Structure 1
Amino acid sequence: MGTQFLTDEKGKRTAVVMPIEKYNKLIQKLEDLEDVRLYDEAKRDDDGYRISIDEAFKIIEEKRKSLK
């Protein structure tokens, strides 16, 4: 079974029916494209500021303690 289109009374396509495998591949490709978009956005907004992992854990631990 290939892709099928549902139409309204005027013949305008309104929905798609496709095999689940094809649908899953399409969703995976869309998710991959979203990952690329988010990466590009992060790179564009990167100001170069970095902290060490030890500093990050210290900040997390301080925030955790302040919530108690």
Structure 2
Amino acid sequence: MKGVEFVVDDSGKKKAVLIDLEQWGELWEDFCDVLVSESRKKEPTVPWSELKAEMKKGVQKGG
């Protein structure tokens, strides 16, 4: 794959990958977003209406 290079150990086993971010940056960003999303799956949620009200309060206070 162009723009992707594998780093291997002495036995040829893949250990790391180098990614050309100019070429694959957007895809890498999407991948990172998925990882963050998955890591937060079990965190408690806040209803949208509650979050919206809190945000509105912050804007009214100038913050």
State the TM-score, normalized to the length of structure 1: 0.46
More strand by share: 2
More helix by share: 1
